[in-house]
Chain A
């Protein structure tokens, strides 16, 4: 599954070298939302290679508890042996495209095991993507738990 996901990203995300500018907004919205779903899949399967291609090296990630992580720290948190996500899905998403950048807001639901204990989280997220060198990468991500 991990290899398939990585191949999917290489085909879907990588544009021909000549495509230095993004396609029309509607097409890019679809692509970005697909990347968001690919991100969830990558986390579920702890696919580091896929995450590496989705996330900008300068990524800033703010978790629901206010903790701040860079790309390496975030990927390490995904790889943590004690964490076993069973399902991460986006219940809803909206993408606003502004030329070569986009903001995605949505609601996610995640369930799994952490240190052997089951967890269920539902939160709202905001991700900022930037179109660089023919591909979209996430440069900032923040999530907040929904209390109800």
Chain B
């Protein structure tokens, strides 16, 4: 969900408001939020091993209308060179249904194109499933917000 560009993220910053949302949530939702942050950190560090631990092997990742498997995603993490782009996470909503959690939110991506910076806003939905007491990402998709 985080970034659909493979040349991304050395720095990412989280809005303080995102952390403030956790105050009144249950354990599952808090765990999911922590995993979402872990994803961002893992990607910013090109840490494919860390991401391997939180992605389900059957992960389906929808990127620019194409399906990317876990293997393809991690391979690109390992081989891509990050650029000095920045992602700012905006508030996200976590809903749990037993062993399933749905996360919906938005983030802003600072992109450098033709030497000029501009901001792109994305809306995402991630699905996490608790398997053997461990939350794993099974589905992720993001789409640019045009209106």
Contact = CB atoms under 8 A, between A and B. Distances in A.
Interface residues of A, number: 31
Interface residues of B, number: 31
Interface in B92-147: 93, 95, 97-100, 102, 104, 121-125, 127, 129, 131, 138-139, 141, 143-147
A145 B65 contact: yes
Interface in A24-83: 58, 60, 62-68
Given A60-B125, A66-B144, A144 B64 contact: yes
B111 to A, nearest CB: 16
Nearest to B121: A66
B62 interface: yes
B100 A128 contact: yes
A142 B98 CA distance: 21
A99 interface: yes
Given A105-B67, A124-B65, A144 B97 contact: no
B62 A142 contact: yes
Nearest to A68: B123
